[in-house]
Amino acid sequence: MAQAQQQQRGATAVQSHAQAQAQQQALQQALQIHYQAQAQAQAQAQAPAAVRGEVATEQRFATFQDWLRRGGVEFPKVTVMRFEGYGYGLGATATIEDGDIALRVPLGMLLNERLVAAAWPTVHMDELSPAVDRWAFVYLFVALQRERMQRGEVTFWTPYIDALPPVVHSPVSYTDEELVQLSGTNVHESVLSIRAKLRSLADQYASHLKVAHPDYFDTLPGKYENLVWAYEIFWSRAFAVILGGEEIASLVPLGGMLNHDQFAKVTYISNEKTGFFALQVNNTVQQGCQFFNNYRHRSNEKLLLNYGFTCDDNPLDSYTVKIGLHKDADPLYDQKRELLDAANLTLEHYITRQDPVPASLLHTMRILNSNEDELYFWNANRATDEPVSVRNEVTTLTLLKDLLMRQLHKLAFQDFGADLALIRSGKLGDPMRHIVAYRAGQAQLLADASREAVRRLAEYEKMSPAVHLRPRYFQPARYFASGTQAMEQYNAWARDVGIFVGGNVAYSLDADGLPYLAATAPIQAGDVVLRFPQQQLLGMENLSARVSYELRQWLCSARGHRHLSQCAIGSEGCLVVLLWRESKRTDSPWKHFFQGLPTDFKTAVTFPDEELECLEGTYVYEEALNLRNQYAEELADIGSVIPSRLLSQGASPRTITPDEYTFFKTLVQTHVPANLVDPAYDQQENPVMLPLPLMPRHHPYIKLSYSVDPADGAVIARTRVALRHGDEVYDGWGSDQTHDHVLYAGACFSNETPNPIPATLPLELQVPEDGLYDLRVRCLDKFALGTDHFLSTTCLAPSLLSALRVLLCDDSTTELQDLLASDSTTPPGYISTENEAAVRENLRQLIDGLSTQMQQLQAPAGHAASSTWPLCAVYLDTVRAILAASAAFCKRL
């Protein structure tokens, strides 16, 4: 496709190119004579070097303007002049009135994609990898024209290339010392990307283009440095020219010498009928004054990246916020993408002085932060951009604040006050003056936007009492079971090794005598509350260094794999073995951590059989049995891979027991931070645990922000909300679902506290084994529905209803064939009246059946003495509440 488009553009340009070719060849011959005479005159000149340089510059511009006139360029009232503070620009030789055409250039003199396609008709973009951009051949053409001039050749374009500045000095050509001053900014990121593309172009030119097209490129080296120069020349001088209804970035000889003034008024006129591109002046320019262009609305980021300068106190300055949405990482990607498209929202937004938190940014983040219930609301109310729920608004504003603060912390220099003082001092030269002005503006914009996000969050929290909820949990596991002495010993150790930063947090006891993590002093939002030095992290690297060399080799080389993370028994299996081994050592540096752990975790996997059977028919029951079988298989694998003698403690050879394996497996699953996303710690391949006996308890609206300190690899946790003395430090566990808490953490919201979380109950649908089985499966796949769904306390999920519509299509109709034949990929919202009736009746029977089953479940004998039954009871009450709410929703269908 790309090759066809290039060929079409080339064919369009060939005719006009051929018409101008004869004229260009004649002009080129005249130029060769001119340059030879000029070189002889310079060789005979006896003037000082500075004078000779000035004369040479004037001669270059004189030759350039003569070349323009011979090429049909019209500029009757302007000429090249030197201006204080600007260098060279265009000045008025006579007054230019409002409405005058100051510059008129034949379209054949514009250097752009079309001209290059006509000059190199057999060279196509398809020959290059996607690592380069669409203007790659234009950069290459300009760079090679420069190389021809450098080795003494004269071409048609030589006067133009010779008149261009030898140095642009945009960030693309900054030295390493200059570029590092932009660390953490969008410009820094863009420069690295641009340089990578230009290096790829240089490599592909040398390895392929020169070989494949020797007639065009002969022995020209195509140096990377010249490609950088060509890139800077192109984007610091390109005009938007309309050709064939398409906006084509083009170099306009002489037009590129216009300097910028944000108050200048200039109109670009493209006329393919007359064959000219023109600049019309819309304000009077007096004789002798500089004729300015207006580069249009440009932030300092755009000005610096493309032109190499910034504007002081730029009212158009902005910060570009880029938000990620990844198909592989988000199961609701398609629904969110559709909603964004319907609202004309993109993933790139601009923070400005006038609008520090634009509505489009907030709306986008609300959609991206939505769960399936909230997406149902957005689908039903696409015209609104108002908050959809307390959960969504609080987490959206919190994530926005966190994103802005994280970007601010990434900047190499965050003290924009100091930067502004440097600018006002007048001691900075180029390019540092522009670097400092840009980064100070970026820091100011981010700081203002962060404050606005904090203000909005505080206002919303005042209006929403649910945000201040302090959930109570049933969590039967007893931490620091040996007493407060063990807790105080851990607190002292954590302060000593730097985990409890500044002693501002520590474990304390609540009114029920249960430990929790509390603030011991006021802590501001964004402050670091926990800091885990790399050597204190419970990961395979630290733990494997403390076992015997032979055991380490067995772990590292199991079944032929060289790396521990690829061991046949799995990364978590390796970590479990190492944790169990370390817990038995009396000299462990983590002994205070191990002493604070409960003797066992009271999760659904470890429930007594008689209590687990009371949950029969629930998701937790089925999943707990699956996990028991999974853990047993993993333990058997460990026994088959690692000789028991290597696991011996002292003189008593022994192996890890099933209860011990389950304990440490649960420990790994609950102590790996779900919110830590960093390449340094791949939690799938190389999980790293935090040495906190009791992790911060779950809160639906409050999450700690985890990051890695690039200086020393420490894991840092920041609070997103301000904490007073005695406030509990909460975190989000990665899942709000009650069944996940019961299964993996052995915790559940207490019925004594209103549950702000929309509780859900997993539900697996069955595809009827009839003659339409294959068609139904194809329909489910087409609309990405599947058979795994859920019931909720907030609504009947639209995906559940759509899946039921597919599964209940009548085999006497063509409903399934019609769905498969349609172009739409939107899940069906309605098929027929009969189908809707079948959906209602089937769903009612399903819910009634589950409700009856739940009502029949009874507490086991002796449950009053059980430490885990209250947890089971709370979970059963939650399931019954979900079914009751779903039954009510079903009646309203």
DSSP assignment of 443-484 equals HHHHHHHHHHHHHHHHHHHHH-GGGG----EE----TTTT-H
The identity of residue 318, as a single letter, is S
Which residue, 106, 135, 86, 138, is CA-closest to 260?
86
CA atoms of 500 and 527, how far apart (whole Å): 12
* pLDDT at residue number 50: 42
More reliable by pLDDT, 702 or 649: 702
Q: Dihedral of CA 20/22/28/30: which sign?
A: negative
CA atoms of 607 and 612, how far apart (whole Å): 6
pLDDT tens-digit readout, 652-671: 446 788 888 888 888 888 88
Mean pLDDT, range 507-529, rounded to an integer: 86
User: Is residue 719 scored above 60 in pLDDT?
Assistant: yes
Q: Which residues of 79-114 are buried (b: 16+ CB within 10 A; e: fewer)?
A: ebbeeeeeeebbbbeeebeeebbbbbbbbbbbbbbb
Mean pLDDT of the chain: 82
Mean pLDDT, range 212-232, rounded to an integer: 88
CA atoms of 451 and 357, how far apart (whole Å): 10
Contact 659, 562 (CB under 8 A): no
Mean pLDDT, range 724-737, rounded to an integer: 79
Which residue, 624, 634, 652, 654, is CA-closest to 574?
634
**Beta-sheet pairing, 318-322 with 348-352:** antiparallel
* pLDDT at residue number 614: 84
pLDDT tens-digit readout, 260-284: 887 889 999 999 999 999 999 998 9
> Residue 103 contacts by C-beta under 8 Å, 6 or more apart in sequence?
73, 74, 75, 78, 252, 254, 255, 278, 279
Q: Which range, 638-647, 796-805, 868-877, is most confident?
A: 796-805
CA atoms of 770 and 776, how far apart (whole Å): 10
Asked, as a colleague might, if the bond just before 431 is cis with ω within 30 of 0, I would say yes
* pLDDT at residue number 47: 43
Give the gyration radius of the chain's Cα atoms.
Answer: 35
Backbone angles phi, psi at 500, to 5 degrees: -85, 95
Per-residue pLDDT band at 380 (split at 50, 70, 90): low
pLDDT tens-digit readout, 65-88: 999 999 999 999 999 999 988 889
pLDDT tens-digit readout, 295-342: 877 899 999 999 898 888 888 899 999 998 888 777 788 889 988 988
Which residue, 290, 229, 278, 291, is CA-closest to 252?
278
pLDDT tens-digit readout, 36-54: 555 544 544 444 444 334 5
The DSSP H or E segment spanning 805 is helix 798-807
Percent of the chain with pLDDT over 90: 32
Contact 596, 480 (CB under 8 A): yes
Contact 28, 155 (CB under 8 A): yes
Per-residue pLDDT band at 479 (split at 50, 70, 90): confident
CA atoms of 753 and 434, how far apart (whole Å): 56
Place of tokens 């004649």: 26
Q: Exposed, middle or buried: residue 41 (CB in 10 Å: 0-12, 13-18, 19+)?
A: exposed
* pLDDT at residue number 139: 95
* pLDDT at residue number 115: 93
Residue 407: helix, strand or coil by DSSP?
helix
Which residue, 735, 698, 470, 714, is CA-closest to 706?
714
- Using DSSP, how many helices (H) and how many strands (E) does the chain show? 31, 20
Neighbours of 467 (CB within 10 A): 21
* pLDDT at residue number 188: 93
Contact 629, 605 (CB under 8 A): no
Q: How distant is the alpha carbon of residue 876 from its chain centre? A: 40
> Residue 489 contacts by C-beta under 8 Å, 6 or more apart in sequence?
592, 595
Residue 72: helix, strand or coil by DSSP?
coil
DSSP classification of residue 246: E
> Residue 575 contacts by C-beta under 8 Å, 6 or more apart in sequence?
538, 539, 540, 543, 668, 687, 689
CA atoms of 510 and 287, how far apart (whole Å): 82
Neighbours of 709 (CB within 10 A): 15
* pLDDT at residue number 230: 95
Name the least confident of 564-573, 606-615, 790-799. 564-573
* pLDDT at residue number 842: 92
Taking 3-state DSSP, the helix, strand and coil percentages for the chain, each rounded to the nearest 5, stand at 50, 10, 35
pLDDT tens-digit readout, 412-424: 665 666 766 776 6
**HSE-up of residue 620 (Cα within 13 Å, Cβ side):** 33
Contact 745, 784 (CB under 8 A): no
User: Is residue 648 scored above 70 in pLDDT?
Assistant: no
> Residue 400 contacts by C-beta under 8 Å, 6 or more apart in sequence?
357, 361, 362, 365, 453
pLDDT tens-digit readout, 98-109: 999 999 999 999
Q: Exposed, middle or buried: residue 430 (CB in 10 Å: 0-12, 13-18, 19+)?
A: exposed
* pLDDT at residue number 26: 56
The identity of residue 474, as a single letter, is F
Per-residue pLDDT band at 862 (split at 50, 70, 90): low
Q: Which residues of 688-698 are buried (b: 16+ CB within 10 A; e: fewer)?
A: bbbbbbbbbbb
Name the least confident of 16-30, 430-444, 487-501, 540-554. 16-30
Neighbours of 743 (CB within 10 A): 22
* pLDDT at residue number 556: 66
Which residue, 645, 638, 716, 643, is CA-closest to 676?
716
Both tokens of 422, joined, read 């440097």
pLDDT tens-digit readout, 109-162: 999 999 999 999 999 988 988 888 899 999 999 999 999 999 889 999 999 999
Percent of the chain with pLDDT over 70: 82
More reliable by pLDDT, 340 or 220: 340
* pLDDT at residue number 463: 59
Q: Which conformational region is residue 837 in: left (phi greater than 0), alpha (psi within -120 to 50 degrees), or beta?
A: alpha
Mean pLDDT, range 432-443, rounded to an integer: 89
Contact 413, 181 (CB under 8 A): yes
Backbone angles phi, psi at 238, to 5 degrees: -70, 140
DSSP classification of residue 205: I
First-residue to last-residue Cα distance in the chain: 49
CA atoms of 256 and 253, how far apart (whole Å): 6
User: Is residue 359 scored above 70 in pLDDT?
Assistant: yes
CA atoms of 182 and 308, how far apart (whole Å): 13
pTM, full prediction: 0.59
* pLDDT at residue number 279: 94
* pLDDT at residue number 744: 81
CA atoms of 440 and 858, how far apart (whole Å): 66
* pLDDT at residue number 489: 92
Angle subtended by helix axes 658-671 and 619-641, to nearest 10: 110
pLDDT tens-digit readout, 13-24: 444 555 555 556
Which residue, 665, 391, 718, is CA-closest to 525?
718
